[in-house]
């Protein structure tokens, strides 16, 4: 058991709540309580516990209804739930299993049985958390959680969706690598990747790959989000700000480094690619090439967007026309726009 293991006790009878809370606290668990189903869901939404002890018979939402809502929410679909009842255990067990309960306890509570079931389910939870942590090192948190919840196969299937792609690249990186030691290159990339990775997660993006100083991120898949183009632009703006001290650090050593960004919106084919033992989640389509080419044309500190993304964001930001640009792989010149207004969107 670790200090982070938290148990939520849900019961409308104060004596029952106190009994369970006292027993579990004495064993070193952190205990939170709720007096009804609505309060329980609020507690779970605010800070999900590691396990829920859930009374069946309560006013308002019953324990079964609470359990179903827990299972319907992807964020809590794997949360261990133990139903507690004084009713006929056989009959209630069937209803509890149908609602998604992991285990059952009968009242009055048998203490050794309580502790045994709690320990068992928390071990399972710890293994699930470990697996999820490993998945998050390869996939976005949204996709990792879906896979852990058993919905990954559906999301990983090849499909087509409109996404916004942001491509990031460092200006001055080639010259930097030619005149520095490998350890210094790694130092720069660690700082750059760490800052960008944090912002991508914060803005609900999916990081497709790191390729040295080039990074590709897309928005609106595998989990759809509202206003993906705005998320992409805000990620780019935040990264420009985050890179400023990194660039200043290396400028003191005589190296000029800056960030260029290209953003495009369009349809892509998405899904898992790779082989057994090594899978990646990728976006394939003209939109990814366009974002990469725009990024290649962006000057130091500049964010270039295609016409579709610009039109989506019109009114939220200001833009200056650039081009049309002759881009490799595109038969006709491509209109492009440089983001000018770095203020807040009216919708933010």
Same domain, 192 and 326: yes
48 and 183 housed in the same domain: no
- Measure the CA–CA gap between 269 and 70, rounded to whole angstroms: 32
8 Å CB contact between 257 and 176: yes
pLDDT at 348 over 50: no
Highest mean pLDDT among 153-157, 230-234, 276-280: 230-234
Q: Which of 125-139, 298-312, 325-339 has the lowest mean pLDDT?
A: 125-139
Lowest mean pLDDT segment, chosen from 30-39, 102-111, 246-255, 275-284: 275-284
**Is 93 domain-assigned?**
yes
Q: Please check whether residues 187 and 224 belong to one and the same domain.
A: yes
Give pLDDT, residue 146: 67
Q: Find the mean pLDDT for residues 251-256.
A: 94
Q: In what order do the strands lie in the sheet with 103-106?
A: 30-34, 6-10, 51-55, 81-85, 103-106
Q: What is the DSSP letter of 193?
A: H
Q: What is the mean pLDDT of residues 155-159?
A: 78
Query: What is the C-alpha separation between 197 and 195, in angstroms, rounded?
Result: 6
Residue holding tokens 């690598």? 177
Query: Which among 141, 130, 129 has a CA at the least distance from the CA of 222?
Result: 141
Residue from 164, 142, 157, 138 nearest 216 by CA: 164
pLDDT at 291: 96
What's the token pair of residue 288?
Answer: 């990814």
The whole-number pLDDT of residue 1 equals 47
Q: In the listed set 136, 171, 196, which residue is the last one of a domain according to the structure?
A: 136
Largest CA distance in the chain: 77
What is the structure's pLDDT at 262?
Answer: 97
Q: Are residues 226 and 88 in the same domain?
A: no
Q: Which residue has the tokens 């049985």?
A: 113
* Domain's final residue, options 69, 104, 136: 136
Q: What is the mean pLDDT of the segment spanning 172-188?
A: 94
Query: Is residue 224 situated within a structural domain?
Result: yes
Q: Does residue 112 lie in a domain region?
A: yes
Q: What is the mean pLDDT of residues 306-315?
A: 92
Residues 129-138: tens digit of each pLDDT: 877 776 665 5
CATH number of domain containing 241: 3.30.70.1230
Tokens of residue 140, six digits = 């976005």
Query: What's residue 128's pLDDT?
Result: 78
83, 54 contact by CB (below 8 A):
yes
pLDDT confidence of 126, banded at 50, 70, 90? confident
Q: Using CB atoms within 10 A of its CB, is residue 88 exposed (0-12), middle (13-18) or buried (19+)?
A: exposed
Q: 284: how many CB neighbours lie within 10 A of its CB?
A: 14
Give me the chain's average pLDDT, please: 87
Place of tokens 């079964």: 64
Q: What pLDDT sits at residue 343?
A: 43
Kindly report, residue by residue over 191-233, the tens digit of the pLDDT.
999 999 889 888 988 887 777 789 999 999 888 899 999 999 9
Between 141 and 178, whose confidence is greater? 178
Q: Is residue 90 pLDDT above 80, yes or no?
A: no
Decide if 248 is inside a domain.
Answer: yes
Residue 244 maps to a domain: yes
Range of the domain at 91: 6-136
Is 348 inside any structural domain? no
pLDDT higher than 80, residue 87: no
Residues 119 and 163 in one domain: no
Element (H, E) at 337: strand 334-339
The CATH number assigned to the domain holding 58 equals: 3.40.50.2300
Helices (H) and strands (E) in the chain, counts: 12, 13
Share of residues in the chain with pLDDT > 90 (%)? 59
Residue 345: pLDDT band (50, 70, 90) is very low
Which helix or strand (DSSP H or E) is residue 144 part of? helix 141-148
CB-based contacts of 322: which residues, under 8 Å, 6+ apart?
297, 304, 336, 337, 338
The more confidently predicted of residues 49 and 88 is 49
Cα distance between residue 337 and residue 339, in whole Å:
6
Positive or negative, the CA dihedral 203, 204, 205, 211 is positive
Residues 327 and 199 in one domain: yes
Same domain assignment for residues 129 and 162: no
Q: Would you tell me how many other CB atoms lie within 10 Å of the CB of residue 198?
A: 13
Q: Which residues contact 252 (CB under 8 A, 6 or more apart)?
A: none
Instruction: Check residue 206 and give its pLDDT.
Output: 87
Report the C-alpha dihedral over residues 141, 269, 308, 326, rounded to 10 degrees: 110
- Mean pLDDT value of segment 112-134: 85
In a domain, 325, yes or no: yes
């Amino acid at each position: 058991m670790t200090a982070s293991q938290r148990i939520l006790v849900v019961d409308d009878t104060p004596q029952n709540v106190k009994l369970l809370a006292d027993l579990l606290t004495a064993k070193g668990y952190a205990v939170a309580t709720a007096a009804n189903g609505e309060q329980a869901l609020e507690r779970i939404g605010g800070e999900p516990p590691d396990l829920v002890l859930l009374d069946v018979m309560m006013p308002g939402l019953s324990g079964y209804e609470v359990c179903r809502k827990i299972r319907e929410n992807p964020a809590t679909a794997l949360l261990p739930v133990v139903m507690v009842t004084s009713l006929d255990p056989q009959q209630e067990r069937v209803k509890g299993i149908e609602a998604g309960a992991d285990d059952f306890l009968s009242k009055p509570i048998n203490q050794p049985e309580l502790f045994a079931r709690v320990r068992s389910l928390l071990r399972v939870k710890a293994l699930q958390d470990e697996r999820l942590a490993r998945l998050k090192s390869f996939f976005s948190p949204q996709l990792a959680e879906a896979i852990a919840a058993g919905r990954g196969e559906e999301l990983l299937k090849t499909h087509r969706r409109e996404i916004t792609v942001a491509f990031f690249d460092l200006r001055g990186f080639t010259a930097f690598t030619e005149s520095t030691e490998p350890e210094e290159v790694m130092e720069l990339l660690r700082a750059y990747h760490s800052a960008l990775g944090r912002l991508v997660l914060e803005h609900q993006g999916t990081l497709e790959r790191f390729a040295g100083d080039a990074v590709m991120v897309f928005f609106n898949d595998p989990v759809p989000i509202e206003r993906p183009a705005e998320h992409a632009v805000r990620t780019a703006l935040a990264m420009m700000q985050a890179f400023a001290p990194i660039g200043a650090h290396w400028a003191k050593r005589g190296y000029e480094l800056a960030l260029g960004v290209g953003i495009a919106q369009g349809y892509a084919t998405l899904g898992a690619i790779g082989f057994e033992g090594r899978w990646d989640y990728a976006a394939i389509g003209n939109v990814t090439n366009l974002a990469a080419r725009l990024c290649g044309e962006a000057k130091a500190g500049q964010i270039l967007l295609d016409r579709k993304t610009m039109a989506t964001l019109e009114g939220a930001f200001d833009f200056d026309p650039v081009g049309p640009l002759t881009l490799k792989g595109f038969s006709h010149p491509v209109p492009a726009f440089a983001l000018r207004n770095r203020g807040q969107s009216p919708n933010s």
